[in-house]
Structure 1
Amino acid sequence: MIGEAIAYYKPSDSDTETPYNIIDDLNEDSIKLPINSLGSYDLRVKLSAGAVSDEEKIEFIVGKCATCEPPKVNTVEEVEYGQLVINYFADPVDLITLEYQIALDDEFTHIIYSKVGFYNNPSESIDMNDAKLPDGKLLYVRMRRYCKSKGIDVISVWSDVLEFKSGEWKDPLECYWLAPGDDVGTVMCNGGHGYSWKTRATCDTPVPKIGSTILLPNLVPALKENIRKFLIDADDKYKTRGLGYIRFVNVTPDIIYIIKKDTAEIEFTKEVDCTST
């Protein structure tokens, strides 16, 4: 015989559960919870009989007549080293925005990254470096929609959980850039009041040297087409002319590397004295 029956409910965006005793309602056709606000909720029902207990978890929406169906996460692909793409479908009707979460477990008790405020249907890019995702590890992703239906703001339940394996990435290095045709010298020591650009990059060898290829943080070559695609905050000159010169702040601070813009390879080197700047 069931001796204890408790319903724990909370808004989906909250960490605080409210307990509600339902032991006297178990023989009823339905149980009414004291919820007065529209929105998405998490419900956990725990039943106990002596030393034995069991519980079930569900999600539900108050105001379901204002529909907001969850998205469908199809795949997560590694398109380049360190660059992941979530492929999904979300009904654009009444859509306000979308949210996804990435966790170490399929119960989402250890969420390591989340994002809300995008609607790039049917895909969303994730830079593993920016998101600080571990490489080569099984992870879990889920997504939900924010809708305005019949004048009501509604959040959908979470989508089905998709398991995926993260890609690989390499820590980028602090550096200064100049574009082909720029004047080169001590202006690369401290940014030159915005003239040279302080950013992060790496290369395909343990240390930079002639013949090394300069790579963006997601490990694609630092070509102008990749700069346009992946470095949105880069100055227009790098997006149109490419990378011409680079100085790594901590690895080889006294060397400027001249870059072959068509291949992003180091072609020559030039010494610079930054000790007095």
Structure 2
Amino acid sequence: MNDLAGFLRTRRSRIDPSAVGVPTDSRRRVDGLRREEVAHLSGVSVDYYVRLEQGRATQPSEQVLDALARVLGLDETERGHLYRLARRRRRRAKSPSGRLRPELLRVLDLVTDALALILDHRLDVAAANRLARLLYGREMSGLNTARHIFLEETERGLYADWEKCTLDVVGHLRLAAGKYPDDPRLASLIGELAMGSERFRRLWARADVSARTHGRKAYRHPLVGLLELHQENFALPDESGMELLVLSAASGSSTEDGLRLLSAFNSDGNPTEKGSRVTNTS
């Protein structure tokens, strides 16, 4: 399916006609706006808009895209996605190399009281600090968090807000697919998730996009219990397509105590010598 066509169809299906001044009656059988209604409200011909949704019209002007974004009520992230899809034939972004500088890895290891990890646009973990490895209970190299959430974990697993996490993951991958349409590894991952997860297929069909830069993230660890963390995303400045994620606990919170306890374990889930001393003196 043409991505631009699919995106336009899903966006118009969510618009309440009465909210944009379109009269409705009981005979209406479609969700959202009809094609001709979007065309009329956007100031373009019905024929041209139909060709857009059929993937037969290419390179719409900036004025047309602005009008469509306004009528469809797109937020900033969705607007940027619409522009990338419309201009895809003119300029196709090259997939990032994903190489990490040694200096960056040193910085990662300096983060000791919070979880820190580096992810690429496919949500592959490129590097992680000790606390992040302890949270996941494994070495992070080779871990893809999208695959982990949809194919390896369940609602009762590590992710306390599993359903919200799935929404975030699909929204992120939709954005990545719009930016890097020629990335075969990304396409393969999306195909694997679609084959293995019915929830992924349903969410992907909605064509929602999202770019989360900060917010709450909750985990349920088998040894230390619920960890309610605040996540901040920092895009790396070298066009690598990677982000540094730092997840921290509020000062004086039970989660701060939980992270302190977690840091006292080794990778096998046993107290370190330091952790044993702390336990014995309490």
TM-score normalized by the length of structure 1? 0.27
Which one has the bigger helix percentage?
2
TM-score normalized by the length of structure 2? 0.27
Greater RCO between the two (CA within 8 Å, min separation 6)? 2
**Structure of greater Rg:** 1
